[in-house]
Structure 1
């Protein structure tokens, strides 16, 4: 798959993903905080399936 996530978008996804996971581990938001794995995974692989479907590309 071709990368469609840029640097700023990637940084925001990593921060949001880690925040959700940390809040889940501390018990602040419960088990659903593990949804933070989704933005974290898309940031690591630099590919967002939803962006591909919508034709969005935030990288050069």
Structure 2
């Protein structure tokens, strides 16, 4: 089990980055709450395509084409 394996697909990465940015923005705009740290984690995992929790659970959200390097 490699915790630093690239296991996040393109759609999952996009969703993570968008939601992460929204959570971070929410801290500055409306709610002064530590939920922004969750947004930071989502942006980092989305940017690098690596999710250690997915590795621990054996989850891989990459499509078949992404796994063999076609996309």
TM-score by length of 2: 0.76
Superposed, which structure 2 residues align to 1:2-41 within 5 Å? 2-26=5-29, 28-34=30-36, 35-41=38-44
Q: Name the one with the larger helix percent.
A: 1
Q: Could you list the structure 1 runs, at least 4 aligned residues long, displaced by more than 3 angstroms after superposition.
A: none
Structure 2, unmatched stretches of 5+, are none
Structure 1, unmatched stretches of 5+, are none
- Cα distance, 1:5 vs structure 2: 0.2
CA RMSD of aligned residues (A): 1.0
- Cα distance, 1:29 vs structure 2: 1.9
- Cα distance, 1:2 vs structure 2: 2.0
Q: Deviations over 1:2-52 (max 9, x none)?
A: 2100000000000110000011011x1213132200110001111001000
CA contact (8 A) 2:16 2:42 kept: yes
